[in-house]
């Protein structure tokens, strides 16, 4: 494979752990992907790629995003962009800024719960709450196949 285009357009996301697992396919082992912050300390957590994940070839990647990309799709897009692993092409994402996870209740039952805010941490250490994944360049359908990305 020489390059990869991953289409996250109109992807409403999913579970936080699934988004981290997707990032594990493209990032080095034990790389911090995202942090969550909530009202109670148990909701504050750093999520990283698996220590056991295999190193992958560093081929060029483009992620296609739009206003229908939300939740887990935004986590994948934001992390891969912030860690300089992929270029985002398309429109600004939904900007949900919250995460969902399956939590076990004391009686043994469980369900999907929404909680916390996402903090995408860049390599510089800066973090942004409730951030949209901003595209790096866009394609204008009026321009045909000509790219509007900076050289």
Which residues are known catalytic residues?
71, 82, 96
Asked if 89 contacts 149 with a C-beta cutoff of 8 angstroms, the reply is yes
Query: Can you read off the two tokens belonging to residue 115?
Result: 């909680």
Tokens (6 digits) for 28: 């080095």
Task: Name the strand (E) or helix (H) holding 6.
Answer: strand 4-7
Name beta bridge partners: 137: 89
**Structure-block tokens of residue 108:** 């043994």
Token pair of 27, please?
Answer: 């990032």
5-to-67, 70, 100, 124, 146 alpha-carbon distances in Å: 18, 18, 26, 26, 17
DSSP state of 39: S
């Amino acid at each position: 494979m020489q390059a990869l285009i991953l289409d996250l357009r109109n992807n409403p996301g999913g579970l936080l752990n699934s988004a981290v697992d997707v990032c594990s396919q493209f990032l080095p082992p034990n790389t911090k992907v995202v942090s969550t912050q909530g009202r109670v300390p148990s909701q504050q957590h750093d999520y990283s790629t698996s220590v056991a994940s295999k190193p992958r070839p560093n081929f060029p990647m483009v992620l296609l995003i739009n206003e229908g990309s939300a939740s887990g799709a935004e986590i994948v897009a934001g992390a891969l962009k912030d860690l300089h692993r992929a270029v985002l092409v398309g429109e600004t994402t939904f900007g949900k800024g919250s995460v969902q996870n399956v939590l076990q209740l004391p009686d043994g039952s469980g369900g999907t719960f929404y909680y916390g805010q996402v903090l995408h941490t860049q390599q510089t250490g800066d973090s942004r709450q409730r951030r949209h994944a901003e595209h790096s360049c866009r394609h204008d359908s009026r321009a045909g196949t000509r790219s509007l990305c900076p050289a």
